[in-house]
Structure 1
Amino acid sequence: MELEILYQDQYLVAVNKPAGMLVHRSWLDRHETRFVMQTLRDQIGQHVFPLHRLDRPTSGVLLFALSSEIAALMMPKFAGRDIHKTYHAVVRGWVKEAAVLDYPLKEELDKIADKDADQDKEAQPAVTAYAPLAKVETDIPVGRYATSRYTLVEMKPETGRKHQLRRHMHHLSHHIIGDVNHGDGRHNRMFRENYDCRRLMLHASRLQLEHPVTAESLDIRAGTDEAWNRVMTAFEWPVTLMVPSS
């Protein structure tokens, strides 16, 4: 398969990462054969250096450097707050108003990879701005309720903790649809059975940054896949809801 290239010059390349695809090889997923990093390298014929990561089930804008020198310039920007990320998600329930959640998160440790890590490390600051864009109430019952409610949410993380958006939405009881670790299995099953949606409904739709060499403002945006568009159509939410005006 070929990746959709969203931006490319002699210094940087950005792709629209498909949901379900790992960014790079991992000994934790030895059976996997497709990775964004290797696929992109073969596609453009040169080495690429990942500047950040997206979880395997998340789709959207993923940026790479085309040299180690550019990577070294960019990494501090991602570690700080010079890069602005916008995500969209479909969550259970109705999110009533825009807000900023400042809720520290303890580091999620892998049982095998992090077996020697400090298990009692203090929770780290985690801040997410979020806003509802559209709501729907369906006549499909889930659990004890006769109807089901969902919200299309825009989220802008101000920190970059592991699984931050999923865990923050879980904390608010607005679980992201398709989240098998922090979500609600009943709603996930309803989306599979009624909308043929078998993915995490979390999409990295926009990345804004200053170019490390030219200093121009980059605004890189990624469109959604068929599963996402099916849900939007079923709920009569225009895709334009996810296109910011500025």
Structure 2
Amino acid sequence: MIIRILYEDNHLLVVEKPVNLPVQADDSGDEDLLTLLKADLKERHQKPGNVYLGLVHRLDRPVGGVLVFAKTSKAASRLSDVLRKREMERTYLAVVRGSLGDGGLLEHHLWKDTKKNKVHAVKPSHPEGKKAILHYETIERKDGMSLLAIRLHTGRSHQIRVQMAASGAPLYGDQKYGQHVNRPGQQIALWAHTLSFPHPTTKEILKFESTPPFEHPWSIWKQVGAEALTM
């Protein structure tokens, strides 16, 4: 599998994650992005022994788009700190069923059922609920769907998928949180569009962009991604 590399230096590796590829090894036993990238680094740089590649953040298996890895433990630690301080900005593109408002802030409390690997929107009083916040803008509405630009303020598991479903606009193709309106086999329409953060050593602000493939439902909109950059 060919993985598109967006940026690489001695500290970082930024790639475009393909859809339906797990970020790291799981119970499925399928090949995963982390293992593939380590093997590629070992071959390209002719590195002896084990290759270090630190996982900083994740994308759900069916989701594609921009993702950063750390090539040193120091970079991993600094990027984790950046993430914790919310200095890493992430923008997503999503196609949802139905319509929300023109834009605004969505706030929910989410609880993850680890046994079923499913997240639920719960009342604020739930003892294990964690606050989840995102900002969305509706770029365009068409054919009973809406194209959204979404910026995360928190990074909860399945956050966008659950918050959209809880708001009455489940993601196109989402079988887990929108099975009542989606058919099996439809690809989830969620894409990690932009990623911005300070470089772990130079502190320079780096920004990367990835756009979804021009396939349905993305192909309904001819200029996918352009408007999201103004968010």
> What letter is aligned with 1:39?
L
Does residue 1:81 correspond to 2:86, yes or no? yes
Q: TM-score, normalised by structure 2?
A: 0.86
> 2:139 is matched with which residue?
133
Q: How many angstroms apart in 2 are the aligned matches of 1:162 and 1:86?
A: 16
Structure 2: gaps spanning 5 or more residues: 43-50, 118-125
Question: Which of 197, 202, 214 is the aligned partner of 2:190?
Answer: 202
Q: How does 1:3-152 map to 2 (within 5 A)?
A: 3-26=3-26, 28-30=27-29, 32=30, 34-45=31-42, 46-111=51-116, 121-137=127-143, 149-152=144-147
| Cα distance in structure 2, aligned partners of 1:56 and 1:236 | 24
Q: Does 1:176 align with 2:171?
A: yes
Q: SS of 2:36's equivalent? A: helix
Show structure 1 runs of 4+ deviating over 4 A.
Answer: none
Alignment-mate amino acid for residue 210 of structure 2: A
Amino acid at match of 1:43: D
Structure-1 separation of matches of 2:40 and 2:61: 20
Check conservation: 2:38, 2:52, Cα contact below 8 A.
Answer: yes
Residues 66 and 217 of structure 1, relative CA distance in 2, 3 Å threshold: same
Report the Cα offset of residue 243 of structure 1: 5.0
Q: In the alignment, which of 227, 231, 234 is matched to residue 217 of structure 2? A: 231
Correspondence for 1:145? none
Aligned residues: 215
Cα separation, 1, equivalents of 2:225 and 2:64:
18
Alignment-mate amino acid for residue 159 of structure 1? T
SS of equivalent to 2:169: coil
**Match of 2:217, SS?**
helix
Aligned to 2:152: 157
* CA 57–74 in structure 1, closer or farther in 2 if over 3 Å, else same: same
Letter in 2 for 1:238: Q
Between the aligned partners of 2:33 and 2:22, the Cα distance in structure 1 is 6
Report the identity percentage.
Answer: 27
**Residues 193-229 of structure 1, C-alpha deviation per residue, up to 9 Å, x if partnerless?**
xxxxx31110001111011101111001112125xx3
Which residue of structure 1 lines up, in the alignment, with residue 121 of structure 2? none
Q: Distance in 2 between matches of 1:61 and 1:179?
A: 20
CA spacing shift, 1:36–1:222, aligned 2, 3 Å = same
Counterpart of 1:244 in structure 2 is 229
- Distance in 2, matches of 1:123 and 1:163, equals 14
TM-score, normalised to structure 1's length? 0.81
Residue type at the aligned position of 1:7: Y
Higher helix share: 1
Q: State the SS of the aligned residue for 1:75.
A: helix
Contact 1:177–1:184 (Cα < 8 Å) also in 2: no
